[in-house]
Structure 1
Amino acid sequence: MRKLLSYCSVALLLTLGPGRAAWAQGPVALNHIALYVVDLQKSADFYKNVLLLPELPEPFKDGKHVWLRIGPHSQLHIIQGNKVQDHDINTHLAFSVKDLPKFMAHLDKLHVRYGSWKGEAGQTTPRPDGIKQIYLQDPDSFWLEVNDDKF
């Protein structure tokens, strides 16, 4: 019986391949994204008021952190202390909304600039799969995509 179990174990490992046995439990899941910002309050206000992200309790209680909910099991951690710098649009966070025109109207009401990938103000960019996207920047110039993906 021990020999049979040993052969089965070896066969399972060979089937999964080297290093894949750990993945049998499932892939990793996004826990949080941390953004290092210049002005904590300005950034927190932006994410709470523009993207409508709910604030969460954070354990540090040092005035340098704000935690926000970005998904059922994911968070955005905003951390005070960065210096002003530019960011490339290719590095961006992407969010989905149910109704992109309604969200665009929300941005218009708040006078938040947004546009297509090419920078055309108030315009969307269609992806090859039909999803529409807009791009905007937060107070620290981090790029954000908002799209109407229904995945």
Structure 2
Amino acid sequence: MKKFRLLAVTAVLLFSLNVVAQEKQEVSKPFRGAIAVKKIYKVVYQLNTEDDKKIAATLKNINNALQDPRLAGKLKVELVVHGGGVVAFKKGSAYEQQLLELQKKGVLLAQCENTLKERNIEKDELYSFISFVPSGNGELIIRQSEGWAILHP
């Protein structure tokens, strides 16, 4: 009986020391974020507002993702614009240079054709480097079903 108690106490002590050691290791090792183990990550950013702050934030968020070293060479990005967001793609907007830079980095820039019809906007009123999709919502639905992350900053 004494041997059993001694064995039980020893087991409890060893287990306790192991738990304390693990806790100390976890505390001393700061969290550095998720590890990008996939070959490709796909994301669609949705822009449907004419609010300058939200447009600027969306473009900044895309750039931030493109600059994340974990995603370097692994990221496919599409910006889907519909509704009020069309102002970002209109010729003369303050975003031309930023959009061109994003496109050079491989970002797909897609404008919803339904928005153009509803707002009586001709395609030639938009920057020539913009692509078109029949509907912004349809694009989001298809991309999401293909496994793309959908972000709406």
TM > 0.5 fold call: no
Q: Tell me the TM-score normalized by structure 2.
A: 0.28
Bigger proportion of residues as helix: 2
Bigger proportion of residues as strand: 1
Q: Tell me the TM-score normalized by structure 1.
A: 0.28
Which one has the largest radius of gyration? 2
Q: Point out which structure has higher relative CO (alpha carbons under 8 A, 6+ apart).
A: 2
